[in-house]
Structure 1
Amino acid sequence: MTTNYDKTLILVNLGGPRTSSEIEVFLKDLFSDPFVFDLPLPEFFRIRLARFIAKKRAPKVQRTYESMGFGGGSPLVEETEKQAKHLELILNGLSKEKWKVIVAMACGYPNIRESEFTNPNSNTIYLPLYPQFSRSTVLSTLSILEEKFGECPVGSGGFVPHFGMDTQFHQITANFIYEFFTNKLSRDQFLHYPEETPNCEWTDLDIVFSAHGVPMRLIHKGDRYMEEVEESVKGISDELRKFGYKGNIHITYQSKVGPAKWTEPSTIQKISELARNGKHIAVYPISFVSDHLETLEEIGEQFKELTWEAGGKSFVRIPAFGTYKPFLEFLAKRVLEADVSIDHCICEEKGGESLQHCRFKK
């Protein structure tokens, strides 16, 4: 991508509008994606419906973003750029080669479909920032790149697989949660660091691990997302017990859109239940690695208000990693290994289908 660097790492995230003027474009990209907006309809009709929904939802979404106080847009792109800057320093400290780390978004800008993002290979590596595999995230990203370059990136040497099943990820997450509750994190490194504190011992809290939900239609197609979320939480919970945590763990799903059946239990249902029973509640965003609309607004405001209304004793939002150094060091090591160990189609294994130009098809 540039002659000034030996290697380029591209951090891929879902995206978010940086300003209010980008909201409709972001929504069109989102709903036009067949792996995200998956409906049993002819493609020409699905696309028309996607564009109609994007246009109709734009004003409501705009009001939500305006209420967050980030200039009418989402902080996701800026937060991912912060992670890129820190990760670049780490990679250049670990490697003799010179690295450049940039960001690309599946929806909105900077758009992964633009010409500056070149084909995946051993010198141009793509890292999707999704801990768990889902058709709507990892498979969607791979499909975009396959359509652009004529081959699936998996096995090219230029793709870093998802990381939520890694035991080191579990250890780092548990340590992060422990450091949060024992006031060992640097507050100035986080976007809107939570001010709430539990009025009980953190080891006795009910911790809700809230993942972004997906339609059950995707699960029925072979998406292993729910299994991976459960495995991630199990590994993290085991590590938390080593820090003396004695409370109850819950897995839930948030951000449901539309009337179709989605992954359950919903975070709203679980928090309502816990609050009615007078519990002390903490929520951790298990499927996100940086704070944005779903963590700051949905978890930090809506779920907090719900807790108080239903009679909960306390509520704490645990932040996402952001630029937490142990997490970025973990990612850097996976980048240096790239995907040399992949020898089969992870799309079929984890998502239920291979892409058309899979190099592992027999």
Structure 2
Amino acid sequence: MKGVLLVNLGSPDSPTAKDVKPYLDEFLMDERVIDTPKWLRNIIVRGIILQTRPKKSAEAYSKIWWEEGSPLIVISERFAQKVQEQTQMPVALGMRYGSMTIKKGLQELKDKGVDEVLLVPLYPQYAMSSFETVVVKAMEVQSQDFPEMKVTTLPAFYGNQDYIEVLSKSIAKGLQGFEYDHILFSYHGIPERHIRKSDPTKFHCKIDQSCCSTNSVAHHTCYRHQCFATTEKVKAILGLEATKTSISFQSRLPNDPWLKPFTDFEFERLAKEGKTKLAVITPAFVADCLETLEEIAMEGKHQFLEAGGESYIHIPCLNENEDWVSLMAKWVNTWESEETLPI
């Protein structure tokens, strides 16, 4: 019997330092998030970051926490339920970090008689620290605890035309009634070395002005290329002017080269260049989370207006968008009936 496991990032159980600390520990100790030797990662995470970050992160979570719980968890649960309503297969939800584990999701499917699983990392683009770590963890859990299960992974879907059309339609709706003079496509940031580590050729990805636009097998696992490709596909569908759009990358750790330009720097630059009406899109996420709701929708707006901007909107992620639900259901139903991956 076939079933589906949807997997997203995860969340602490509450917006308190007590619950945020173990969540951050699990997240930051992942070797695909901070890819240093374990002894050094221990020093960085447990000796430095976890001494101060849990309290600050808890305060940030408190700003966006819903009565029902973590927005990311609540949105993901609603999404999974709506997908379930459009397929005959059991649909379960797991998270890479936190108490809603991948193991619990696979156990839920097993209890329903599932022995063949479609694993769906809910990340449009491929990156070591998001898509890859979900797949590696799921395979590890399957091997250790569910050896009788067969697991097939849905590839990163950034280039799927149906997905791009759903995303573009959602963005167009978010822009209605807002007279923007610039749209910023802000993607989650990763270290530059993750790009090079993910390059199967070991020579193509130079992170310059040409490698992402020069065709290569490296693009299948190149996050930077896939971010640019997502943006260009959306721009083409919506007919956006090149001079009114740009790309940036949010989140980074100090003393380490990360993808540029940085989103917070772009807020200041755009405002000073006279772009006073800014719309921000976060297409690295399919569900709103701390990074979109607090860092972009709240802090980003404050930074932009402080720098001289006049009006600012953050366009929500796809979340429970009915077209997005229907598309995911279409993908999983295609896999069930045709025994082939739809993308």
TM-score range, shorter chain: 0.7 to 0.9
- Give SS of 2:136's match: helix
Alpha-carbon distance between aligned partners in 2 of 1:163 and 1:296, rounded to the nearest angstrom: 23
Aligned twin of 2:94: 104
Task: Identify if the C-alpha distance between structure 1 residues 80 and 53 changes in structure 2 by more than 3 Å, giving closer, same or farther.
Answer: farther
Aligned twin of 1:335: 332
Alpha-carbon distance between aligned partners in 1 of 2:69 and 2:60, rounded to the nearest angstrom: 9
Task: Identify if the C-alpha distance between structure 1 residues 117 and 212 changes in structure 2 by more than 3 Å, giving closer, same or farther.
Answer: farther
Q: In the alignment, is residue 179 of structure 1 matched against residue 177 of structure 2? A: no
Q: Which among 307, 318, 321 is matched to residue 324 of structure 1?
A: 321
Q: CA deviation at 1:246?
A: 7.7
Aligned twin of 1:34: 31
Q: In the alignment, is residue 133 of structure 1 matched against residue 129 of structure 2? A: no
Aligned twin of 2:232: 234
Aligned identity (percent) is 27
Q: In the alignment, is residue 13 of structure 1 matched against residue 13 of structure 2? A: no
Q: In the alignment, is residue 116 of structure 1 matched against residue 107 of structure 2? A: yes
Alpha-carbon distance between aligned partners in 1 of 2:192 and 2:284, rounded to the nearest angstrom: 17
State the one-letter code of the partner of 1:50.
V
The 8 Å contact of residues 66 and 72 in structure 1, kept in 2 or not, is answered as: no
Task: Identify if the C-alpha distance between structure 1 residues 48 and 277 changes in structure 2 by more than 3 Å, giving closer, same or farther.
Answer: closer
The 8 Å contact of residues 160 and 335 in structure 1, kept in 2 or not, is answered as: no
The 8 Å contact of residues 119 and 151 in structure 2, kept in 1 or not, is answered as: no
Q: CA deviation at 1:298?
A: 0.8
The 8 Å contact of residues 9 and 127 in structure 1, kept in 2 or not, is answered as: yes
Unaligned runs of 5+ in 2: 200-220
Alpha-carbon distance between aligned partners in 2 of 1:99 and 1:341, rounded to the nearest angstrom: 15
Task: Identify if the C-alpha distance between structure 1 residues 341 and 22 changes in structure 2 by more than 3 Å, giving closer, same or farther.
Answer: same
The 8 Å contact of residues 189 and 249 in structure 2, kept in 1 or not, is answered as: yes
Aligned twin of 1:90: 86
State the one-letter code of the partner of 1:334.
W
Task: Identify if the C-alpha distance between structure 1 residues 117 and 134 changes in structure 2 by more than 3 Å, giving closer, same or farther.
Answer: farther
State the one-letter code of the partner of 1:323.
E
Q: CA deviation at 1:341?
A: 5.1
Alpha-carbon distance between aligned partners in 2 of 1:60 and 1:314, rounded to the nearest angstrom: 27
Aligned twin of 1:218: 194
Structural mapping, 1:1-362, within 5 Å: 7-19=2-14, 20=16, 21-39=18-36, 41=37, 43-47=38-42, 49-53=44-48, 55-56=50-51, 57-70=53-66, 74-91=70-87, 98-114=88-104, 116=107, 123-150=116-143, 158-182=152-176, 198=178, 200=179, 202=180, 205-221=181-197, 222=199, 224-241=222-239, 248-279=244-275, 280-338=277-335
- Give SS of 2:107's match: coil
The 8 Å contact of residues 285 and 317 in structure 2, kept in 1 or not, is answered as: yes
State the one-letter code of the partner of 2:226.
E
The 8 Å contact of residues 188 and 251 in structure 2, kept in 1 or not, is answered as: yes
Structure 1 length normalisation: TM-score?
A: 0.77
Q: CA deviation at 1:26?
A: 1.1
The 8 Å contact of residues 105 and 112 in structure 1, kept in 2 or not, is answered as: yes
- Give SS of 1:90's match: coil
Deviations 1:120-144 (A, max 9, x none): x873221110000111111111111
State the one-letter code of the partner of 1:28.
D
Structure 2 length normalisation: TM-score?
A: 0.81
Q: CA deviation at 1:278?
A: 2.1
State the one-letter code of the partner of 1:283.
V
Task: Identify if the C-alpha distance between structure 1 residues 236 and 81 changes in structure 2 by more than 3 Å, giving closer, same or farther.
Answer: same
Q: CA deviation at 1:304?
A: 0.7
Q: CA deviation at 1:293?
A: 0.9
Task: Identify if the C-alpha distance between structure 1 residues 117 and 247 changes in structure 2 by more than 3 Å, giving closer, same or farther.
Answer: farther
The 8 Å contact of residues 31 and 51 in structure 1, kept in 2 or not, is answered as: no
- Give SS of 2:97's match: coil
Q: CA deviation at 1:257?
A: 2.5
Q: CA deviation at 1:46?
A: 2.9
The 8 Å contact of residues 5 and 93 in structure 2, kept in 1 or not, is answered as: yes
Larger helix share, 1 or 2? 2
State the one-letter code of the partner of 1:306.
Q
Unaligned runs of 5+ in 1: 1-5, 92-97, 183-196, 343-362
